[in-house]
Chain A
Amino acid sequence: MNTLAFLLTQIVNALSQSALLFFLGVGLTLIFGLMRIVNFAHGALYMLGAFVGYSLTKWSGNYWVALAVAPVVVGLFGAAFEFAILRRLYRRDAHAFLMVTFGLALVVGEAVRLTWGPDALQVPAPDLLAGVMFILDEPFPLYRLFLVATGVIVAVAIWQFLERARLGLLIRATSQNADMASALGVDVKRVRSAVFGIGCGLAALGGVLAAPLVTASNGMAATVIIDAFVIVIIGGMGSFLGSLIGALLVGFVQVFGNYYLPDLALAFMYLVMLAILMVRPGGLLGKEA
C-alpha cells in the first residue's frame, strides 16, 4: 500500500468519524446556545435513534425509511420532554437542567435496554451503499463516503437554515438575547421547544447513520456523550462553526491517534481539550469564559 493511498484512507475514515460526531455536537451546541442547557441525555437520544432506526428498517425493510423517520420520532420526543419538564426549570439554576437531563439519560438508557434487549443489533447498510469503491487502487467502503457526503450536506443545510430561514433568524435572536427577543414579540417558549427537538433529532440522525457501522448497542450512549461534550467545549459552547471545527479536530485526533499512538489516543484527546480551555476558557469560538 503506498503512502498516499494510505493517508487518503485514513483521511476518509477521519472525515466520516467527524461527520458522525458533528451530528451530536451541533445539536448539543444549538441547545446550549439557546437555553444554557447542557443536555446530558444527548448520548441516550443518539442511542435511541439507532434502535428506532433498527426497528423501522426491520418493519419497512428499507433503511431509507428509517433514516428519514427515526430522527423525526426522536425529535418529537425531545420537544415533548422540553414542553413537559424543562419548561418548568428556566427560572432555576443551570445545574437543575444538568440533573434533569442526567435523569432522562438514565430513563432512556434503561427503556432502550428493556425494549430491545441487552444484545447489540445489526443494522444492514442499504444495498446501494454496501460495496466498495476503488480510489488509487485502494478499496473504500461506500458507506463511509456516504457518511462524509451526508455530513457536508447537513452542515450546509443547518448553516443555511440558521442564516436564511425565519426560524433560524428567531433562534439566533433568542440565543443572543432572549428577553429582548421576547419583548419584540418572539414566542421564545416555542423557539426553545423547537430547538430542543431539532437538537435531539440531529443526535438521532447520527445514531441511525452510525448503526450500520458500529451496530446498535446499549453501550453506545456512554462513550459518545463525552466525545460530544469534548467537541462542544473545544469549539465553544453555542457556536455552530465551533462544533464543526471541534468535530473535525476530535475525528482526526481519534483516527490518526489510534493508528500512530494507540496507547495515548484517548488521553491525547482530553489533553488537547485541557490545553485549549486553559488558553481560551470559553472554547475556540466561544464568547464567554
Chain B
Amino acid sequence: MSAGLRALLVAVVVVLAAAPFGLPPFAMTLLTEALILGLFAMSLDLMFGYTRLVSFGHAAAYGLGAYACGFMLLHTDMPLLFVVFGAALLTGIVAIGVGWICTLATGVSFSMLTLAFAQLLYAISFKWTSVTGGSDGLAGIPRTAGPFGFDALTSKTGFYYLVLACLVGAFLVCFALVRSPFGAVLRGIRENEAKTIALGYNTRLYKIAVVAVAYALGGLAGALYAPFAGFANTELLFWLLSGQVLIMVIVGGSGTLVGPILGAAFFMLMEHQLSSWTEAWALYFGLIFIAFVLFAPQGIWGVATAWLQRSRNPTRAS
C-alpha cells in the first residue's frame, strides 16, 4: 500500500469521524449499518480473498455474534462494551470447531459444509425458543451502560463511534495479519496449496486459524448489529445473507480488505437508492452483480487502483 493510499484512508477515517456533526440522524443510521456490514464483509475477505476459502455460510458468524450479544444484553447486567467483545470471542471459539470440520474438505465441498453449518444454526435458532426466541427472535435488546457509569455508548452517536473504532481496529489487525508471514502462508494456500504443503507448512492448521479469526470478526459485526437494531432474528442466520456478503466482497474487490468495505457501502446505497426509485430493486441489483462478475471481476477497488496506477505511470503498463 503506497503512502498516497495510506493518506487517503486516514482522510476517510477523519471524515467518517466528523460525520455525526454534518449528517442528519437518518443518514447516520444508514452509515452505521454500512460500517457494520463493512466489518462483516472484510472479515469474509480474510477467508475468500486471501486464502480462497469460499465460505457460503458466513451468516453463521454474524448471526451467532448477534444472538450471543443480544442474549447477554437481555438477560444480564453486563455492559455493552464487554458483551460485544465477549460475543465476538465466543464466535471465534465456536469457529475453531467449525473450521476443524469444514477443512476436512476442500473446494466446493468446503463451501457446502460451511453452508450446512449455517443452516444448522438457522434450524436451531427456530427451535431453541428459550434462548433465541424462535421465529420472533430477540426483541428490545438494550444498549446497557457501564462500566463505572460510562454511558456514552447508549446514544446513537456514541454507538456510531464504537462501530467506527471496531472497524478501524479490525482493519489494522487484518492489515497486519495479511502482511505478516502468516498472511504469506495464506496467500500460498490460495495460489497453490499442494506446493505450500510441500514447503513444510501444515496448511490445515493455518486454514482453521483464519476461519477462527474471520468468524470472530464476523461475530463482532453481528454483535454490533444486535444492539444497533435492537433485535436479532433468524434472518441473520439465513443463507441469503451469506450470499449477499459474498456479493459485497466481490463487488468491492476481494483480497484488498478495503474493497469489501466499499462493497458493503455500495450494497447499502444500492438497496436504499434503487428501492426508493423502483420496487424491483433486487432485479437491477442482480443484473449489476452479474455484470460485475463478467466484466470487472477485480471489483470497485481493483478497478479504481488499476486506473490510478495507469494514470500515474502511463508508460508502465500493468
Contacts and interface: CB of A to CB of B under 8 A. Distances in A.
Given A233-B116, A267-B123, A277-B116, A110 B247 contact: no
B294 A109 contact: no
A229 B112 contact: yes
B283 A233 contact: no
B230 interface: no
Contact of A106 (B104, B279, B289): B289
Contacts of A267: 120, 123-124, 127
A114 B283 contact: yes
B13 interface: no
A222 B234 CA distance: 14
Contacts of B111: 38, 98
Interface of B: 54, 56, 101, 104-109, 111-113, 115-117, 119-120, 123-124, 126-127, 238-240, 243, 246-247, 250, 279-280, 282-283, 285-287, 289-290, 293-294, 297
Contact of A102 (B126, B243, B280): B243
Give the top 5 A-B pairs by smallest Cβ distance, nearest first: A106-B286, A107-B286, A110-B283, A266-B123, A103-B290
A289 B280 CA distance: 40
Contact of B116 (A85, A88, A103, A273): A273
A277 B120 contact: no
B289 A103 contact: yes
Given A40-B243, A85-B294, A267-B120, 10 more contacts: A96-B297, A98-B56, A98-B246, A99-B289, A103-B293, A106-B283, A106-B286, A107-B282, A233-B112, A266-B123
B287 A107 contact: yes
Contacts of B285: 106
Nearest to A263: B127
A282 interface: yes
Most B Cβ at <10 Å: residue of A100, A111, A269? A100
A271 interface: yes
Interface string A197-240: 00000000000000000000000001000100110010001000
B286 A103 contact: yes
Interface residues of A, number: 44
Nearest to A269: B123
B283 A270 contact: no
B107 A278 contact: no
A145 interface: no
A281 B105 contact: yes
Contacts of B108: 32, 36, 38, 94, 237
Contact of A264 (B117, B127, B247): B127
Contact of B280 (A105, A114, A270): A114
A127 to B, nearest CB: 37
Given A107-B286, A110-B286, A270-B120, A99 B250 contact: yes
Given A96-B293, A103-B290, A222 B127 contact: no
A274 B289 contact: no
A274 B120 contact: yes
A89 B107 CA distance: 17
A237 B294 CA distance: 25
A88 B289 CA distance: 15
B117 A274 contact: yes
